[in-house]
A and B are shown apart, each in its own frame.
Chain A
Amino acid sequence: MSSELLIKNGRVIDPANGIDKKCDVLITDGKIADVGKIEKTVQNTIDAAGKLVTPGLIDIHVHFREPGDEEEETIASGSAAAVAAGFTSVVCMPNTNPPIENETDVEYIHRKGRQTRKTHVYTMGAITKRREGVELAEMGFMAEAGAVGFTDDGRGVQDPAVMLRALKYAGMFDVIIAQHCQDDGFAANGVMNAGFHSTVLGLPGIDALAEEAMLWRDIQLIKKANVHYHAQHISTAGSVELIRAAKKDSLPITCEVTPHHLLFTEERCVEYDTNYKVNPPLRTAGDVKALKEAISEGLVDALVTDHAPHLQSEKELEFLTAPFGIASLECALGLYVKALLEPGILDWPGLIKLMTEKPAMIIGVDKGTLGKGKQADVTVIDPNAEYKIDVDKFCSKSRNCPYDGWTVKGKIEKTIVGGEIRFSAGE
């Protein structure tokens, strides 16, 4: 017997197929069966009048801390947070403890994700063994096990020769090399943006050059390799310039931006609130403006959270010693609405595209669309519902979220993964 689910009367936004109209979506046996006016009576019907019906959201940059730091987050708690936020696919970063650096590690993440039965859990693998930036990790085996890309995230690959080797080697496989662009020489032991505020606060700074120097270097390197390069969480106006030029030269490069780099500037650090300690650091108003311009120009390929959960006890430390990171997965959509939709930088189809079709393309998975026959990952959004972000209601284990108490628009109603309703608001 086949199972059916009908989503009626929503505003269906499917950027990959150029659809933005009021219609219905029929799901049969976990696959998209039809999109259009469907005159059929189905027992399982969702009334989506006044709601948006979009491909399941995809976040290609999260930290679920497993294995190693399960007190901060687990694949189970992170996945529950993901579906509550409308994400039907997430990509875990490999900087766990130990890092994800071989096929067994990759399979472990996949197995945990499957067991949780919430969202699709993908992972990237480390570029180098132990993320030390010296020897290449087994990228081939990891790719075969399903790793969707490689990065030493948390750290950039410092040695240019090692990076070039990684880019060339990865060219054998259909995978991306992603980079946390940060030259440790320039960044030193910085904990916030280098500038007036770091000077006055007496905190070591991370110069914008630390990011830009590595991004510039990598752009030169990809000219010598044949691989898709992805710049993670870019944060400076200079990086935007570099991406603009590289794309103009038709280099195989993509990039991503986080909500905090769109919503905050370095001034947030003046009270030494460690919830604003993040890497790359919060930058200047000029940088925020440049990132928003880049998004409106279409230079940015994906919106990601860089969800980085930490324990309260770890964040209740001196700014210098507290760990980097903001936990924002669970309120992501509302943040993008505030940062991009409300100021008119993007419209709904533009926003959804950067959260579905484009990130799916970057990681090379057949997702992010409502095309006929595709796996039925669907998110239903109430675009006008306002709600208050309350960290105490998070499914995530961590509370290091500076958005606590904010009122945002764009509420997740239903999250459907492979045709199954995995999250329903109010349940």
Chain B
Amino acid sequence: MALRRKSKQFRWHRKHLLGVRELSAEEITYILDTAEGFEQVSTRSVKKAPPLRGKVVVNLFFEDSTRTRNSFVLAASRLSADIIEFTKKTSSVSKGETLLDTAKNLEAMGIDIVVIRHSAGGAPKFLSRSVNACVVNAGDGFCEHPTQGLLDVYTIRKIKGTLEGLKIAIVGDIAHSRVARSDMWAMTKLGAEVIFVGPPTLMPAQISRLPVSVSYSLDEVIEKVDVINMLRIQFERLGGNPFPSIREYSHYFGLTIERMKRAKPDILVMHPGPINRGLEIESEVADGEHSVILEQVKNGLAVRMAVLFLVNQAAAQKR
């Protein structure tokens, strides 16, 4: 709570949101506080506020996305911005325009904010060096998905009051998960303890140097944690054969009704979506009393409004 009060004097200065890793606890808290203010806009009968009036936001999506893309569209329109949607499935070098050329062309049309999703880690950072517009990372390779990390801690804070001292398990394909990385940075910076759970074949290199502990046993972890975040098995990213079968994976790492029986009574069950029902999470758990999965989606809107609002404000100050 002390942090929240302190954040009142804080001045946001970043015109890009590239990742959570580079943010301080104070900056994260400031975004969450700003999002709280925006959450009530969605409850009004006229769901619109004016801060981005006359600004142009482009959604530059090189990977499939429904939830994040729509959430950004809605966030931008609630702030009264104009929106260009640019989706391109491949980002291959050999054919077609380069990322840089695409961005420069859009910039020539006078855009103010680029929301980018790309399969290459670092693409938003690369873009931020080359264009004048604000850049918001909507997911880059398996580097970061900062608005997801922020909406996850927003959701937890809203229900639990604070992240301080909480034990949080993140379960699944850690190696290829940008959500796991952004969550890890956001959660640990706000004082939570994070445990990565999954088979060793889905853990990234030198994980011991990250501020997390690692467990290969969901059964051991389930009893201890206050929050459990089940990652989607991303079949499109899995290289080779990191586990023998879906059946065996579900057996060891699926969040089942049986496992939930041993969880703390006030555990929160989270999932960044889209869920594979019956694979990493059983339907009864996904739809059960502990699940905050739809709450996450709802909060995502407020968090994205806050992010768009803040980067635009920082850019205006710099001008």
A202-B141, A202-B143, A271-B125 known; A318-B206 Cβ under 8 A: no
User: Which residue of chain A has the shortest Cβ distance to B143 in the bound complex?
Assistant: A202
Contact of B91 with A318 in the complex, beta carbons under 8 Å: yes
Docked CA distance A203–B140 (Å): 10
Say how far B131's CB is from chain A's closest CB, in angstroms. 13
Q: B294 near A: Cβ within 8 Å?
A: no
A188-B239, A201-B122 known; A317-B93 Cβ under 8 A: yes
A316-B100, A317-B99, A320-B119 known; A272-B207 Cβ under 8 A: no
Docked CA distance A196–B212 (Å): 13
User: Which residue of chain A has the shortest Cβ distance to B178 in the bound complex?
Assistant: A202
Q: B183 near A: Cβ within 8 Å?
A: no
Contact of B122 with A318 in the complex, beta carbons under 8 Å: yes
Contacts of B93 in A (CB 8 A): 314, 317, 321-322
A195-B206, A199-B207, A200-B21 known; A318-B123 Cβ under 8 A: yes
**B 190-229 to A, binary, CB cutoff 8 A, 1 in contact else 0:** 0000000000000011110110000000000000000000
Q: A62 near B: Cβ within 8 Å?
A: no
User: Which residue of chain A has the shortest Cβ distance to B93 in the bound complex?
Assistant: A321
Docked CA distance A271–B129 (Å): 10
Contact of B142 with A205 in the complex, beta carbons under 8 Å: no
Docked CA distance A320–B205 (Å): 17
Contact of B205 with A198 in the complex, beta carbons under 8 Å: yes
A316-B98, A320-B141, A321-B91 known; A199-B206 Cβ under 8 A: yes
Say how far B23's CB is from chain A's closest CB, in angstroms. 14
Q: A319 near B: Cβ within 8 Å?
A: yes
Q: Interface residues of B, CB < 8 Å — how many?
A: 30
Contacts of B119 in A (CB 8 A): 320
Contacts of A313 in B (CB 8 A): 98
Contacts of A200 in B (CB 8 A): 21, 143, 181, 210
Say how far A335's CB is from chain B's closest CB, in angstroms. 26
Contacts of B209 in A (CB 8 A): 196, 199
Say how far A417's CB is from chain B's closest CB, in angstroms. 38
Q: A194 near B: Cβ within 8 Å?
A: yes
CB < 8 Å neighbour of B120 from A198, A199, A314, A320: A320
CB < 8 Å neighbour of A202 from B98, B99, B181: B181
Say how far B98's CB is from chain A's closest CB, in angstroms. 6
Say how far B105's CB is from chain A's closest CB, in angstroms. 15
A199-B204, A202-B141 known; A320-B122 Cβ under 8 A: yes
Q: B173 near A: Cβ within 8 Å?
A: no
User: Which residue of chain A has the shortest Cβ distance to B205 in the bound complex?
Assistant: A194
Docked CA distance A234–B309 (Å): 50
Contact of B122 with A195 in the complex, beta carbons under 8 Å: no
Say how far B256's CB is from chain A's closest CB, in angstroms. 29
**B 59-94 to A, binary, CB cutoff 8 A, 1 in contact else 0:** 000000000000000000000000000000001110
User: Which residue of chain B has the shortest Cβ distance to A314 in the bound complex?
Assistant: B93
Within 8 A of A (CB), among B102-125: 118-123, 125
Q: A207 near B: Cβ within 8 Å?
A: yes
Contact of A321 with B120 in the complex, beta carbons under 8 Å: yes
**B 135-161 to A, binary, CB cutoff 8 A, 1 in contact else 0:** 000001111100000000000000000
User: Which residue of chain B has the shortest Cβ distance to A313 in the bound complex?
Assistant: B98
Contacts of B210 in A (CB 8 A): 196, 199-200
Give me the 4 closest cross-chain CB pairs, A-B, nearest first.
A202-B143, A202-B121, A272-B122, A320-B120
Q: Which A residues lie at the B interface, using CB under 8 A?
A: 188-189, 194-196, 198-203, 205, 207, 271-272, 313-314, 316-322
Can you name 12 A-B residue pairings with CB atoms under 8 Å?
A194-B206, A198-B204, A200-B210, A201-B122, A201-B143, A202-B142, A207-B205, A317-B98, A319-B121, A320-B121, A320-B122, A321-B93
